[in-house]
């Protein structure tokens, strides 16, 4: 089965924002480090690494490291600060709330306006978000750049994976840099699908381009099996589309998608 972030990974690798961990692997579930993430952001900004390669302000950033010029660029722009005056900790994993702060600063320092395309969501673990980072988390959520992880959780202290970083970078490009629409399909940060209308996730039944889908109480698409809805049984394929006019598991399914008794 393809990884939930395959589309995002293809997006960032084809543009050289993130590279593989070998010639044949991306390691999507490995953590994204501070060095990796600022490198991706510097590449997104199209910087000339040679312009920032002369020296490093941090004692733990070797001048020969691939991320060295990108660390210098990020620090000089105020996008990512050191962990203290002399250190950057380039190999330290980035947490989800830290990623939100970095993306907010990236937008601010480079002059990108963050849209408010979605209503503010109060995550059930809101009390675990560092107070100074709450504005950034909300800004990224409302822009649609970062989403929850299911169950209305944001998981602020979880380390972000390379797959999550790829998803955030793609969304930032498509939503903030090259805006088209805030409505339509969106994935949360565990790969579940939602459908947005009027800045809110759709719940219940929704027909999209002639195909019926069902979204639960928090907007997650039902997929891959039988589900009882309103006293009737329906079958949903792996892509979330509702089955109709067919036979599955020995049951006849009518044109309305309901299983015949």
* CA 127, 128, 131, 136 torsion-angle sign: negative
Q: How many domains does the chain have?
A: 2
One domain for residues 147 and 218: no
Q: With respect to residue 39, please indicate whether it lies within any of the assigned structural domains.
A: yes
One domain for residues 43 and 144: yes
Structure tokens given for 177: 């840099």
One domain for residues 179 and 208: no
One domain for residues 177 and 245: no
Q: With respect to residue 260, please indicate whether it lies within any of the assigned structural domains.
A: no
One domain for residues 87 and 177: yes
One domain for residues 13 and 127: yes
Coil, helix or strand at residue 236: strand
One domain for residues 181 and 210: no
Q: What DSSP element (H or E) covers 103?
A: helix 96-110
Q: With respect to residue 191, please indicate whether it lies within any of the assigned structural domains.
A: no
Q: Residue 91: name the closest of 54, 123, 61, 50 by CA.
A: 61
* Domain finish residue from 135, 152, 185: 185
One domain for residues 226 and 105: no
Cβ proximity of 107 and 173 under 8 Å: no
Q: With respect to residue 190, please indicate whether it lies within any of the assigned structural domains.
A: no
What pLDDT score was predicted for residue 183? 62
* Domain finish residue from 161, 185, 209: 185
One domain for residues 235 and 179: no
Q: What is the CATH number of the domain that holds 220?
A: 2.10.270.10
Pairing of strands 184-187, 193-197: antiparallel
Q: With respect to residue 258, please indicate whether it lies within any of the assigned structural domains.
A: no
Which domain, by its residues, includes 25? Answer: 6-185
One domain for residues 176 and 215: no
One domain for residues 147 and 175: yes
Q: With respect to residue 212, please indicate whether it lies within any of the assigned structural domains.
A: yes
CA count, 13 A, side-chain hemisphere, 255: 0
What pLDDT score was predicted for residue 185? 84
Cβ proximity of 188 and 154 under 8 Å: no
* Domain finish residue from 128, 153, 185: 185
What pLDDT score was predicted for residue 181? 42
**Splitting the chain (261 residues) into consecutive groups of 10 residues, what average pLDDT does each group show?**
88 91 94 98 93 88 95 96 95 98 97 91 96 98 93 96 97 83 74 82 90 93 94 95 95 94 74
CA pair distance 193, 4, nearest whole angstrom: 10
One domain for residues 102 and 129: yes
Q: With respect to residue 259, please indicate whether it lies within any of the assigned structural domains.
A: no
Q: With respect to residue 261, please indicate whether it lies within any of the assigned structural domains.
A: no
């Amino acid at each position: 089965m393809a990884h939930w972030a395959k589309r995002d990974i293809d997006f960032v690798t084809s543009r050289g924002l993130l590279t593989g961990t070998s010639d044949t692997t991306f390691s999507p579930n490995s953590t994204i480090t501070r060095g990796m993430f600022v490198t991706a952001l510097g590449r997104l900004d199209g910087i000339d690494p040679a312009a920032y390669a002369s020296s490093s302000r941090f004692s733990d950033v070797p001048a020969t490291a691939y991320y060295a010029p990108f660390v210098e660029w990020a620090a000089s722009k105020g996008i990512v600060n050191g962990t203290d005056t002399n250190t950057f900790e380039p190999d330290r994993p980035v947490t989800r709330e830290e990623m939100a702060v970095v993306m907010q600063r990236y937008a601010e320092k480079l002059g990108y306006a963050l849209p408010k395309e979605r209503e503010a969501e109060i995550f059930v673990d809101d009390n675990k978000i560092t107070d100074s980072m709450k504005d950034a988390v909300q800004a990224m959520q409302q822009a649609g750049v970062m989403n929850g992880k299911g169950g209305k959780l944001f998981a602020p202290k979880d380390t972000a994976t390379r797959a999550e970083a790829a998803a955030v970078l793609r969304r930032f490009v498509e939503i903030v840099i090259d805006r088209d629409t805030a409505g339509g399909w969106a994935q949360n940060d565990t790969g579940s699908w939602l459908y947005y209308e009027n800045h809110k996730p759709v719940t219940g039944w929704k027909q999209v381009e002639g195909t019926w889908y069902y979204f639960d109480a928090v907007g997650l698409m039902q997929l891959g099996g039988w589900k009882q809805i309103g006293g009737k049984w329906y079958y949903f394929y792996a892509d979330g589309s509702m089955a109709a006019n067919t036979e599955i598991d020995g049951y006849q399914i009518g044109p309305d998608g309901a299983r015949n008794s």
